[in-house]
Amino acid sequence: MKIEDVRKSAYSMPLTNPSFPPGPYRFFNREFFTITYRTDPEALAAVVPEPLEVVDGLVNYEFIRMPDSTGFGDYTETGQVIPVRFKGEKGVYVHSMYLDDEGPIAGGRELWGFPKKLARPKLEVESDVLVGTLHYGSVLCASATMGYKHRPVDHNTLLQGMKAPNFMLKIIPHVDGSARVCELVRYYLEDITLKEAWTGPAALGLFPHALADVAKLPVREVISALHFKTDLTLGLGTVVFDYLAK
């Protein structure tokens, strides 16, 4: 293979058999279960990087069921996002993500810098309860429940929140182990079709684990819960801050 051939074809690894196809990536019937809870301000300050600013003491714990996505297939994801402000604009910082599919783990980390790790999240309905769980191996790390479709939610308000920017820290090491890329990335959800949205009583438990540390942002009070389904496109990102720039 010639040098020019490498330049033309290289966008992911392995070079000749990439783990995911090029985007854009469209999701159909993407199902969200989000519990907003209050945590310790000191815990948030320890994990949110400057120049982002913590807005308040809240965290959104999310379960996302993705049965039909272009390129990435059928998988489930869970994790924590934190309300933040960047240069006066409100958005969320993606703090942790756990999922069960190698393609979006590789694509999410390589393209955007999503903090993805392999685990076993589930989102399902058990009788009259929506249930989300996260297992890392055999160990239960998160358990979330919500009364199933108790009350409808205003679509316009929810859509405005979904259109806010998302931020994450993209880190790619050099061959000597030092950081070669260390950037704050911003992306947006695009072409959103909100199909249904509900709320109800909810509970959330987070449990300590050495490698799935969701409990380091402890639950002090559950504020609200949302359950909704959408079609949307995961927009590609832009770099808004370079930590290695001199």
pLDDT digits (tens, 9 = 90+) for 183-218: 999 999 999 999 999 999 999 999 999 999 999 999
Instruction: Count structural domains, the chain.
Output: 1
**Domain containing residue 147:** 25-242
Four-residue CA torsion sign, 104, 108, 114, 118: positive
Q: What is the separation of C-alpha 241 from the centre of its chain, rounded to a whole number of angstroms?
A: 20
Assigned domain for 2 exists = no
Beta-bridge partners for 62: 34, 79
Q: What is the pLDDT of residue 132?
A: 98
In a domain, 208, yes or no: yes
- The number of beta carbons lying within 10 Å of the beta carbon of residue 68 is 13
Q: State the pLDDT at residue 28.
A: 98
Q: Which pLDDT score, from 0 to 100, does residue 142 have? A: 98
Residue 54 lies in a domain: yes
pLDDT of 31-64, one tens digit each? 999 999 999 999 999 999 999 999 999 999 999 9
In a domain, residue 20? The reply is no
**Has residue 206 been placed in a domain?**
yes
Q: What mean pLDDT do residues 156-161 have? A: 96
Catalytic residues: 116
> Looking at per-residue confidence, does 246 or 90 come out higher?
90
| Selection from 32, 37, 38, 79 nearest residue 229 by Cα | 32
